A and B are shown apart, each in its own frame.
Chain A
Amino acid sequence: MAQHYLTLELVDKSFQRGGTKTEVLTQVSLGVAKGEFISIIGHSGCGKSTLLNIIAGLTPATSGVVFLEGKTVDAPGPDRAVVFQNHSLLPWLTVYENVALAVGKVFRRTKSRAEQHDWILHNLDLVQMGHARDKRPGEISGGMKQRVGIARALSMEPKVLLLDEPFGALDALTRAHLQDAVMEIHARLGNTMIMITHDVDEAVLLSDRIVMMTNGPAARIGEVLDVPIVRPRNRIELAGDRTYLKCREAVLKFLYERHRFVEAAE
């Protein structure tokens, strides 16, 4: 098997609950190159979060393995930082302290206090949240919280950044802003990123490849689509771009023709 930066090999996941076993994922295999931006798209409940949690090490796979740089992933760690769906900032800490908690833990030995301070501010500036550093999560908007969540994840200098529907709860305008911010960060830092979304445009705009999941139960990877659009990408210019439209159509076809979400399938 070819060596990838991040490799998922025949990952299966089933949940056991009270004697009944639910198959969630079957035979998920995927290789991700360093610096690649991957989107995972699929109907809700198909197991996207479960897959991301397996990569993060938060959930153990029932069978199969995840390799990162040749090493088996078996526990969560800051090299696979997660931007959670609902920001998950600690409400009793300020914006600065939320990032500081991560920086203090990850760079305890390698950065001095002053360097840590600069690094926290640097990451807050990266998402344009330096101005709100002394606010608590309860005092800022949903979009700002999500920015801080991204800053916290970036501040860990992760090998892979995992984003679970990071913009799902935001209005269209804020969402577009944050998408641009993430694209810019990806261009600047060259991180490997895996993002879950159910937004077709978001997937095409941001990704190098789009992983399309079939419906659950026992979801698998249905198709992987290459998005051969040069970067930097501009959402307005892309609106009429042939490749963009073709990719968009391919994803839409997959989701709404071949794997239509059947209401109340269970």
Chain B
Amino acid sequence: MSVAQIHPAKPAPASVDARPMTPQARILSFMPRKPAEGSLARLPQLLRQLGESLLPPLITLAVLLAVWEVLCSSPTAPLPPPSRVLTESWQIIADPFYRGQGTDQGMFWQILASLQRVAIGYSLAAIAGIALGVLLGQSQWAMRGLDPIFQVLRTVPPLAWLPLSLAAFQDGAPSAIFVIFITAIWPVIINTAAGVRNIPQDYQNVARVLRLNGFEYFGRIMLPAAAPYIFTGLRIGVGLSWLAIVAAEMLIGGVGIGFFIWDAWNSSLISDIIVALIYVGVVGFFLDRLIALAGRLITRGTATA
């Protein structure tokens, strides 16, 4: 996630002619050069576009791997070079669906266990976060009473909650889920509240003239109007969840990518750690993209007025 996305950004100001969300506009921006005449003429251009977007990261990757290989090639190097990672960890790379005893599971199952914890904690955080955000956005008193407390609590690092939740739940599994929950909820609350506070007076007037009741107002006006903000919060939240789960699992143990990494460290399997890190990064990337995509689909009409 880039730095720019971490801020609870306001959705782009609505303007009449800029419609970045429409499918046409997206296709156009994909081909910034002048539009070609026929589909045949467009094919090479599409290929070039593909090359322009894929080639640079591939080259960067190749260079990085090469540098790494060279730097760690000496037998006394503390970290293995990529070639050795491949050979040493070939077993876990080749068979992600391997099932063994206890925590001895393939990468797929490790990731799946972590994702399950994240899914539960994050869903709870999304629901509670949106509900609390709506409360904060709607009520001056809730805002005054709760906001200062939330502003303090949200700065507590995720792992600092773990001992407390272990004491409260007496068990690792719910504690890890609670850590995810408490990590992801703050950006959701804060962004939802901002979205609800920023609902234009015009929409509220429309609702009042139509005499929409609370439920109708919530579903027809508030949620769609605040959706771009809510999804900004949800996207930050999912990134933080994934950051927190790895750390939490290192401490609670059991199947999961976090404990897998810790276990590999204790067994001095540095290559396995590197493979796991790649998995963690790729999965985190896709989680972020997933929420971004959901947000784009759901708020398609909202950003254009």
A interface list, Cβ under 8 A from B: 56, 58, 75-78, 80-82, 84, 86, 88, 90-93, 101-102, 105-106, 136-139, 142, 156
A90 CA / B212 CA spacing, docked (Å): 14
- Given the known interface contacts A101-B210, A101-B220, A105-B212, the answer about A88 and B22 at a Cβ–Cβ threshold of 8 Å is no
B305 within 8 A of A: yes
Q: B208 to A58, Cβ gap below 8 A?
A: yes
A106 CA / B304 CA spacing, docked (Å): 27
Q: A84 to B305, Cβ gap below 8 A?
A: no
- Given the known interface contacts A76-B211, A90-B224, A105-B211, the answer about A138 and B206 at a Cβ–Cβ threshold of 8 Å is no
Checking B210, B224, B225, B303 against A78 with a beta-carbon cut-off of 8 angstroms, the contacting residue is B210
- Given the known interface contacts A86-B202, A90-B224, A101-B220, the answer about A137 and B305 at a Cβ–Cβ threshold of 8 Å is yes
Checking B206, B211, B301 against A136 with a beta-carbon cut-off of 8 angstroms, the contacting residue is B301
B14 within 8 A of A: yes
Q: A91 to B16, Cβ gap below 8 A?
A: no
With a cutoff of 8 Å between Cβ atoms, the chain A residues found around residue B171 in the complex are none
- Given the known interface contacts A58-B205, A90-B206, A101-B220, the answer about A142 and B22 at a Cβ–Cβ threshold of 8 Å is no
With a cutoff of 8 Å between Cβ atoms, the chain B residues found around residue A156 in the complex are 210
Q: A138 to B209, Cβ gap below 8 A?
A: no
A-B contact pairs, 13 of them (CB 8 A): A78-B211, A82-B209, A90-B221, A91-B14, A91-B304, A92-B224, A92-B299, A92-B300, A102-B210, A138-B16, A138-B19, A138-B301, A142-B16
A193 CA / B200 CA spacing, docked (Å): 26
A116 CA / B205 CA spacing, docked (Å): 23
With a cutoff of 8 Å between Cβ atoms, the chain A residues found around residue B300 in the complex are 92
Q: B205 to A88, Cβ gap below 8 A?
A: yes
Q: A78-B209, A78-B211, A156-B210 are in contact. List 4 more A-B contacts (CB 8 A).
A: A78-B210, A80-B209, A84-B202, A102-B210
**Which residues of chain B from 194 to 221 have any CB-CB distance to chain A below 8 Å in the complex?**
200, 202-203, 205-206, 208-212, 216, 220-221
**Which residues of chain B from 208 to 258 have any CB-CB distance to chain A below 8 Å in the complex?**
208-212, 216, 220-221, 224-225, 227
A46 to chain B, nearest CB (A): 20
With a cutoff of 8 Å between Cβ atoms, the chain A residues found around residue B123 in the complex are none
With a cutoff of 8 Å between Cβ atoms, the chain B residues found around residue A101 in the complex are 210, 220
Residue of A nearest to B14 (CB): A91
Digit string of B262-305 for contact with A (CB within 8 Å is 1, else 0)?
00000000000000000000000000000000000001111111
How many B residues have CB within 8 A of the partner chain? 27
A-B residue pairs, 6 tightest by C-beta:
A138-B304, A88-B202, A92-B301, A91-B305, A92-B224, A76-B208
Residue of B nearest to A98 (CB): B206
With a cutoff of 8 Å between Cβ atoms, the chain B residues found around residue A84 in the complex are 202, 205-206
A84 CA / B221 CA spacing, docked (Å): 17
A90 CA / B216 CA spacing, docked (Å): 14
Residue of A nearest to B18 (CB): A138
Q: A91 to B210, Cβ gap below 8 A?
A: no
A88 CA / B207 CA spacing, docked (Å): 11
With a cutoff of 8 Å between Cβ atoms, the chain A residues found around residue B208 in the complex are 58, 75-76
A136 CA / B16 CA spacing, docked (Å): 12
A156 CA / B211 CA spacing, docked (Å): 12
Q: A77 to B14, Cβ gap below 8 A?
A: no
A50 to chain B, nearest CB (A): 13
Digit string of B25-55 for contact with A (CB within 8 Å is 1, else 0)?
0000000000000000000000000000000
Q: B304 to A76, Cβ gap below 8 A?
A: no
Checking A56, A91, A105, A138 against B216 with a beta-carbon cut-off of 8 angstroms, the contacting residue is A105
Q: B203 to A88, Cβ gap below 8 A?
A: yes
**Most B-side CB within 10 Å, residue of A80, A81, A88, A93:** A88
With a cutoff of 8 Å between Cβ atoms, the chain A residues found around residue B209 in the complex are 56, 58, 76-78, 80-82
A76 CA / B299 CA spacing, docked (Å): 29
Checking A82, A102, A106, A142 against B205 with a beta-carbon cut-off of 8 angstroms, the contacting residue is A82
Q: A138 to B205, Cβ gap below 8 A?
A: no
